[in-house]
Structure 1
């Protein structure tokens, strides 16, 4: 009996070892690395799944890219969890995705989670480039409607306003990427925040279909769009603190003050 069991295991083991994975992360890879810097590029390769338009101008971004295979022939939105920040993850028809992220020095993690909450792939890596300062303030916006376009707006203590038309501030803060191919993420980052009061807004700007952007009510996918905003202080340090806010948006033009905070 034991010999039969052993033979069965030997027969099955190749298929188990070489089974086609449900998700693949081409980058980043686990382990130890020194940078992996992606500066502004003529080909931003940010797509979800429409052609990329990247108005961000932050340096030191890395690309999170890979493929998630459709399960049962049905492709549903998944989640991308980066250093604990959950973000909606949509793919193209082949299941591929590419997203930018500004990782700081130290330990970082990237996880792909299925629509039903199953962990599909997770990598942990250590960024040894100490010049990559962790974000002291990070605001991440994601939403659950790929046919809607939402915008993140942040006003800093000196009165500067980061949004799609002005992604980079003179005080060192700005949008990592202004994602205009739905449904985000959009992220605001500051590595050396000013002391004072910050205002965080989310705006339902318009909708998106195969003909482009429009302002037609009802052309979005969901009747109520759920926006999730994560506010992270001192990311990836022993003093990290985070808050998450869920905001419903119903009509084009809706502008919600999500949070006022003092740093």
Structure 2
């Protein structure tokens, strides 16, 4: 326990703590965390738990963050996964396992798991010195609090292109990294070289997902109102970083909500 507290407070690499080899609250993202003494895991096969992520291949630097919670919360409040300061609800399968995708940029990156009462269970931080890795100048993250709801993120860029699950890759360099098709998100939109002009951020309550697949029966919802949190991050991992957060209630299937219009 003392070692865990020291790890969380001191932001030390997991590989530096052999005694914690069995602690899998957070494990290194698959695909090459090889700085600060961490082991290169780029040859390992990725195992996606518990939700089926559709990997659109929009960004080449995406990584799977995987782990296991021994006492996962089955109802609100949930655990949180905080990646580079961006918190999202952390849902697991029946065995407490989870997997989430994220596209890390150069510089200082961190992954943290927090308990439902806000305590830090584990935090890993590393420095990626690869200057060739693109930095996200615009990142939009959508997550929601009902793991049976299918909510989609939609982004309209200044040249009129529309990024969503059916058209995830844009010719201007932006796009959705992973579409979470049967879980609570997060869904990520990222641009490393944004166009100047007006952007629109929308969310759509598309439907629900159950044991028999997709359906549109609102009576099966876990909550009468689904709370969606949209996070906008500008100039991520730079001295100019700033962020905005919006909480959007979704009350009925088919609801399409304009969250934010902004200029870059």
Q: Normalised by the size of structure 2, how large is the TM-score?
A: 0.84
Deviation at 1:24, TM superposition (A): 2.0
- Tell me the residue number matched to 1:249: 250
- Tell me the residue number matched to 2:205: 204
Deviation at 1:22, TM superposition (A): 7.2
RMSD of aligned alpha carbons:
2.7
User: Runs of 4+ in structure 1 displaced over 6 angstroms?
Assistant: 17-22, 33-38
User: For residues 20 and 232 of structure 1, do their structure 2 counterparts lie closer, same or farther at Cα, with a shift above 3 Å needed?
Assistant: same
Residues 113-136 of structure 1 show CA distances to partners (whole Å, capped at 9, x for unaligned) of 112211111011001211112100
CA contact (8 A) 2:234 2:242 kept: yes
Residues 11-49 of structure 1 show CA distances to partners (whole Å, capped at 9, x for unaligned) of xxxxxx9699875211146952799797xxxx86443x2
- Tell me the residue number matched to 1:153: 154
Which residues of 2 match residues 112-261 of structure 1 at below 5 A? 112-261=113-262
CA contact (8 A) 1:34 1:129 kept: no
User: For residues 131 and 232 of structure 1, do their structure 2 counterparts lie closer, same or farther at Cα, with a shift above 3 Å needed?
Assistant: same
Aligned-partner SS, 1:69: coil
CA contact (8 A) 2:51 2:180 kept: no
Aligned-partner SS, 1:53: strand
- Tell me the residue number matched to 1:63: 64
- Tell me the residue number matched to 2:36: 32
Distance 1:204 1:21 in 2: 39
User: For residues 244 and 30 of structure 1, do their structure 2 counterparts lie closer, same or farther at Cα, with a shift above 3 Å needed?
Assistant: farther
Distance 1:26 1:229 in 2: 26
User: For residues 172 and 114 of structure 1, do their structure 2 counterparts lie closer, same or farther at Cα, with a shift above 3 Å needed?
Assistant: same
Residues 155-205 of structure 1 show CA distances to partners (whole Å, capped at 9, x for unaligned) of 000000000001110000000111112100000000000000000000000
User: For residues 33 and 205 of structure 1, do their structure 2 counterparts lie closer, same or farther at Cα, with a shift above 3 Å needed?
Assistant: farther
- Tell me the residue number matched to 1:10: none
CA contact (8 A) 2:226 2:249 kept: yes
Aligned-partner SS, 1:243: strand
Deviation at 1:212, TM superposition (A): 0.6
- Tell me the residue number matched to 1:8: none
Highest CA radius of gyration, 1 or 2?
A: 1
Aligned-partner SS, 2:219: coil
